[in-house]
Amino acid sequence: MVVRQVMRAVVVGAGIAGLVVARQLGLAGWDVEVLEKAAAPRPDGYMMDFFGLGVEAAERIGLYPRLAAVAYRVDAVEYVDARGRTTSSLDYGQFARFAGGKVLSLLRPDLEQAALAALDDVAPGRVRVRYGATAGRIVSGGDGVRVTVDDLPDEAPADVLVGADGIHSAVRAQVFGPEEEYLRPLGMRAVAFIVTEPVLNARFRNRFVLTDSIDRMAGLYGLRSDQVAAFMVYRDATGAAGHLPAGSPGQRLHREFSGLGEAVDRLLDLCPEHPYDDIVAQVVMPGWQRERCVLVGDACGAVSLVAGQGASLAVAGAALLGDVLGPVTSPEGISPALVEFERRWRPVVEEAQAAGRRAASSFLPANRAQRLLRRWIIRGSRLPGADRLVARQIVGRSGKG
Ligand SMILES: Cc1cc2nc3c(=O)[nH]c(=O)nc-3n(C[C@H](O)[C@H](O)[C@H](O)COP(=O)(O)OP(=O)(O)OC[C@H]3O[C@@H](n4cnc5c(N)ncnc54)[C@H](O)[C@@H]3O)c2cc1C
């Protein structure tokens, strides 16, 4: 009788990509350990559009119903001036149509929680998620790949190490080289947070409201509870990680965002001490796999928030990695599977990155003329036939049409 060897994977990062690939490998019979440096699922976040390949993958792997259950309704997407008057508005229904009919508006932590809950689909004990566990030194050798956790002694070797640890991936830095080689800043910085504010919540419930401003943009959305999800993006040339601009996030936001109206002023006052606060950047690498290590999600192919599909690609890429790696039953099969994953997924990521770079050039108007142009484009997108053009501009090939 041939005894099937149980393959073992260590996944670094219990974000969207990490949890999805862990589930898919667990369903395929792998033994999976997920290391997450946060002490618990991260509550911080922002609203995201989830569509295209992400929706297709979520439907295929049975995650979609869990996502649809926590999705938000979007009644309107409006740009407003400092007095709160609407200057232009997007037809969200049209956006949904050219994205293939299905667009979910999801809060980042809700998507992560849904992926975590979906681990219940796997046989008990197959996938273990360890919170408060920071991946340390990685050593790849003949018997597999070992990773230390929190400076503890080496653990049992795994057949594969999956780096799903986001845009500042520590796995990437160790196995492929320093961050500066791969991070491509897009000249902007983003801050995002969720606050409890019943008055603003009532005003902005189910609406995306964006400031029609130059060189900066604040966006807010009223959630189901008394909360408001806020994000603020501004031009920032300080560049790569580690070169933080001066001042706390709150001080910087006050500097950059005052004068955009009383709703934004109120949010500035409520900004928490440690919001999401990072450069807007892509990750561009010549190779995503080496020996027994592979990267997935933002770690290898961040497209940036301006592309609006990093989470969709994190789910779809992780599902594909599960498809190609899941059936592997011996260490010899690993390398070909990882090569196959990269061969199939790289063109998709590269196209989304190109769409993201195009979007980045017009995301924040640099002057009044550019702002006017954006208003015209938004109004024009309501014309019959314009939807396909706009779709290609925004979502590249992952939009349908
Ligand atoms: C403001 C904003 C708006 C966005 N809007 C959209 C949108 O509309 N649509 C969309 O699709 N995408 C959007 N995105 C992008 C999307 O959030 C990301 O692409 C997606 O979260 C990437 O998922 P990931 O699993 O690859 O990485 P992450 O979500 O970053 O997860 C990485 C995980 O690894 C953990 N980790 C890191 N280092 C270690 C370590 N050494 N050891 C253990 N654990 C570690 C981290 O704590 C984290 O939990 C937006 C992003 C931002 C910032």
What is the DSSP track for 216-260? EEEEEEE-SSSEEEEEEEEE----STT-PPSS-HHHHHHHHHTTS
Nearest to 308 by CA among 164, 104, 166, 170: 104
Question: Where do the domains of the chain lie, and which CATH numbers do they carry?
Answer: 8-41+108-182+283-363 (3.50.50.60)
383: pLDDT strictly greater than 60:
no
Ligand 1 centroid to 81 CA: how many Å?
A: 31
Q: Which DSSP letter does residue 2 get?
A: P
Residue closest via CA to ligand 1's atom 15 equals 310
Residue closest via CA to ligand 1's atom 37 equals 165
pLDDT in the model for residue 399: 39
Q: Which atom of ligand 1 is nearest to the CA of 35?
A: 43
- From residue 216, how far is each of 146, 166, 255, 306 by CA, in Å? 44, 25, 11, 13
Ligand 1 centroid to 159 CA: how many Å?
A: 25
- Residue whose CB lies within 8 A of the most ligand 1 atoms, among 305, 364, 394, 398, for a mutation test: 305
Spatial contact of 238 and 252, defined as CB atoms under 8 Å apart? no
Q: Which DSSP letter does residue 158 get?
A: B
Task: Quote the CA–CA distance of 45 and 259 in Å, as a whole number.
Answer: 25
- Residue whose CB lies within 8 A of the most ligand 1 atoms, among 24, 33, 36, for a mutation test: 36
b/e sequence 58-78, b meaning 16+ C-beta within 10 Å: beebebbebbbebbbebeebb
State pLDDT tens for residues 229-261.
999 999 987 765 556 677 788 888 888 898 899
Task: Quote the CA–CA distance of 47 and 71 in Å, as a whole number.
Answer: 10
Of residues 390 and 190, more confidence is placed in: 190
The two three-digit tokens of residue 63, written as one number: 């995650």
Ligand 1 centroid to 283 CA: how many Å?
A: 12
Alpha helices in 118-248 (DSSP H): 170-175, 198-204
Of residues 190 and 376, more confidence is placed in: 190
388: pLDDT strictly greater than 70:
no
Task: Quote the CA–CA distance of 222 and 230 in Å, as a whole number.
Answer: 9
- Residue whose CB lies within 8 A of the most ligand 1 atoms, among 16, 274, 345, for a mutation test: 16
State pLDDT tens for residues 17-68.
999 999 999 999 999 999 999 999 998 889 999 999 999 999 999 999 999 9
Choice among 95-99, 156-160, 244-248, 300-304 with the minimum mean pLDDT: 95-99
161: pLDDT strictly greater than 60:
yes
Ligand 1 centroid to 367 CA: how many Å?
A: 31
pLDDT in the model for residue 5: 77
Give the strand pairing for 289-290 and 276-283: unpaired
Burial of 370 (0-12, 13-18, 19+ CB in 10 A): middle
* 186 residue type, one letter: L
Q: Which DSSP letter does residue 307 get?
A: G
Spatial contact of 292 and 161, defined as CB atoms under 8 Å apart? yes
Average pLDDT value over all residues in the chain: 89
Residue closest via CA to ligand 1's atom 30 equals 166
Residues 6+ apart with CB under 8 A from 368: 214
304: pLDDT strictly greater than 60:
yes
Q: Which atom of ligand 1 is nearest to the CA of 303?
A: 19
Q: Residues with Cβ within 6 A of ligand 1?
A: 12-18, 35-38, 42, 46, 48-50, 108, 134-135, 164-166, 170, 190, 192, 231, 276, 297-299, 305, 308-312, 314
Ligand 1 centroid to 298 CA: how many Å?
A: 6
pLDDT in the model for residue 361: 79
Ligand 1 centroid to 16 CA: how many Å?
A: 7
Of residues 385 and 307, more confidence is placed in: 307
Ligand 1 centroid to 119 CA: how many Å?
A: 19
Ligand 1 centroid to 166 CA: how many Å?
A: 5
Q: Which atom of ligand 1 is nearest to the CA of 310?
A: 19
11: pLDDT strictly greater than 90:
yes
List beta partners, residue 211.
80
Spatial contact of 350 and 344, defined as CB atoms under 8 Å apart? no
pLDDT in the model for residue 396: 43
Residues 6+ apart with CB under 8 A from 3: none
Burial of 392 (0-12, 13-18, 19+ CB in 10 A): middle
Residue closest via CA to ligand 1's atom 35 equals 13
Task: Quote the CA–CA distance of 51 and 168 in Å, as a whole number.
Answer: 25
Q: Which atom of ligand 1 is nearest to the CA of 313?
A: 11
Nearest to 72 by CA among 207, 200, 210, 198: 207
Give the strand pairing for 127-131 and 227-235: unpaired
Q: How confident is the model at residue 1 (pLDDT cuts 50, 70, 90)?
A: low
pLDDT in the model for residue 389: 47
Q: Which atom of ligand 1 is nearest to the CA of 302?
A: 19
Average pLDDT over residues 116-143: 93
Ligand 1 centroid to 317 CA: how many Å?
A: 13
